[in-house]
Amino acid sequence: MAEQTGGDPLFESHDPIFDRKELLHVGHVPDEDRIVGRDDEIQSVAAEVGAITRGDPPNNVMIYGKTGTGKSLISRHVATRAQDAAQGNDIDCGVLYVDCSEANTETRTTRQLALSLKEQTEYQQNIPLRGVGTMEYYQHIWGILEDCFDAVIVILDEIDKLDNSNILMQLSRAREARKTDAYIGVIGISNKVQYRETLDERIDSSFGHRELFFHPYDASQLREIMRNREDAFQPDVLEDGTIELCAALAAKKHGDARKAIEILKEAGELARRIGSETVSEDHIQQAQEVAEINRIEELTSGATVHAKLALYALASCIITGDRETYKTREVYERYVGICELVATDPITENGLYRQLKEQAFLGVIESEKTGGGRSQGSYLLHRLVTDPKHIVKAVRRDASLEDLPTYDRLRETSPSTGNRDIDLTSFS
């Protein structure tokens, strides 16, 4: 390759490990032909919104699934294809995408919808950025739809972050209320499966919708996703078996495509840092360790203090005890003691149970129902999906919880060191 030194020897002209590193960037949206392993999901989403391409009313759909399972990617992909197909049938179909974790109020969301509609058309009216309310933005939206579109697909990503869901009712009733003749299909996306329970009944019934669940990727799908980006690396840099290992590790932990790709990238960075010419299985193992800590930190950083304490309680049971699984009651008892340590009022056992359920869905823990014998009835057993060390570290990142015992402190009271009577208050 031609050496482009830019004149300064301080900067390497040629990356020995990466060729097209951008393929591994977190924000990178892969081309259509690099999307693999989601054919059924693509079909299902297309079946819900597809009527638009034939000039018929679409269904609304909610997509649920854990993080990194392709929800955002597939929604945008299908919406764009529907738009193209509609165009082929002389139907003007718009696609609107809003990330509700940023536009987290109805005003922000409607403003963004109005502005992106304006951007896609010749609409002349000025849309003020501030000083006006939701109603005015809706007026612009209906106006533009009426003038320029036969149909529109609205993707509301991370919809559970919206502070109210009135927009769902507005969008689904727009035709009925004679605001516009355009067909509107909404794709809502959430990684909180409990989202529907939070919907107002009135909204839930007007926003009649199908629900789709995206499952975590298995090892062979992850392998294919990574194989499709092998050209991020220089030829022959990835040693045999590295992608397979990376896929196997990621599938075992979470089935998150974003994380799998991150591990691969991290392994490459590591190889480069230590001056290795190739990326080995050992680099993947190390990168996976780092990625796992990051993953747990990301997942827990958004959680409530009580969810963090619940996780910490379970982790501390595992570290100080001699089992891998604990009953809700056992976790709760530990949790109450820990609340005392950090001078926080505990929530109820049922509240804690709900927190654990939420964490199970996020993929930090696994909960399994077990028959407790005739007299006991059934109960839930919780286990950590990850190393308890990572949980302790991640939870202690919270400034209000940094006084909790460290992993090493907890280890000192584990059965292997002979101290079975754990008195957590002794740490305070």
Instruction: List the single partner that 65 binds among Mg ion, ligand ATP, none, CB under 5 to 8 Å by kind.
Output: ligand ATP
**CB atoms < 10 A from the CB of 88, how many?**
9
Supply the minimum distance, in Å, between the C-beta of residue 42 and Mg ion. Answer: 16
Least Å from the CB of residue 73 to ligand ATP:
3
Q: Nearer Cβ to Mg ion, position 72 or 386? A: 72
Nearest approach in angstroms of CB 38 to ligand ATP is 4
Residues 6+ apart with CB under 8 A from 274: none
User: Which of 17, 18, 36, 118 is the binder for ligand ATP (CB under 6 A)?
Assistant: 36
Contact 385, 363 (CB under 8 A): yes
Task: Rule CB under 6 A: say whether 67 interacts with ligand ATP.
Answer: yes
Residues lying near Mg ion in the complex (CB under 5 A) are found at 72
407 is in an annotated binding site: no
User: Residue 389: CB partners within 8 Å, gap ≥ 6?
Assistant: 319, 407
Nearest residue to Mg ion by CB is 72
In which region does residue 289 sit, left (phi positive, over 0), alpha (psi from -120 to 50) or beta (all else)?
alpha
User: What secondary structure letter does DSSP report for 415?
Assistant: G
Tokens 């009925």 belong to residue: 176
State which residue, 209 or 258, has the beta carbon closest to Mg ion: 258
Residue 185 marked in a binding site: no
Name the residue nearer to ligand ATP (CB basis): 225 or 356. Answer: 225
Helices 106-119 + 166-173 axis angle, to 10: 40
Q: The tokens 């990178």 sit on which residue?
A: 28
CA distance 30 to 110: 28
Stretch that binds ligand ATP, among 70-78, 200-208, 308-316, 409-417 (CB under 6 A): 70-78
Tell whether residue 72 is a contact of ligand ATP (CB under 6 A).
Answer: yes
Binding flag, residue 70, ligand ATP (CB under 6 A): yes
Beta strands in 347-392 (DSSP E): 365-371, 378-384
- Residues 233-262: x where in contact with ligand ATP by CB under 6 A, - otherwise, as a string: ------------------------xx----
Closest CB to ligand ATP among residues 23, 182: 23
Chain mean position to CA 293: 16
State both tokens at 225. Answer: 């996703």
The Cα–Cα gap between 368 and 381 comes to 5
Report if residue 68 touches ligand ATP, rule: CB under 6 A: yes
For residue 292, what are its two tokens? 């796992």
Instruction: Pick left, alpha or beta for residue 158 (phi over 0 → left; psi -120 to 50 → alpha; otherwise beta).
Output: left
Whichever of 187 and 264 has its CB closer to Mg ion, that residue is 187
Count of residues engaged in binding ligand ATP, rule: CB under 6 A = 20
* Minimum CB–partner distance for residue 77 and Mg ion (Å): 12
Q: Give the pair of three-digit tokens for residue 303.
A: 């959680």
55 lies in the site for ligand ATP, by CB under 6 A: no
411 is in an annotated binding site: no
Q: Is 69 annotated as a binding residue?
A: yes
| 346 DSSP 8-state letter | -
135 binds, among Mg ion, ligand ATP, none (CB under 5 to 8 A by kind): none
- Interacting residues toward ligand ATP by CB under 6 A: 28-30, 34-38, 65, 67-73, 191, 225, 257-258
Q: List, as residue ranges, the binding site.
A: 69-73, 217, 229
Q: List, as residue ranges, the binding site for ATP.
A: 69-73, 217, 229
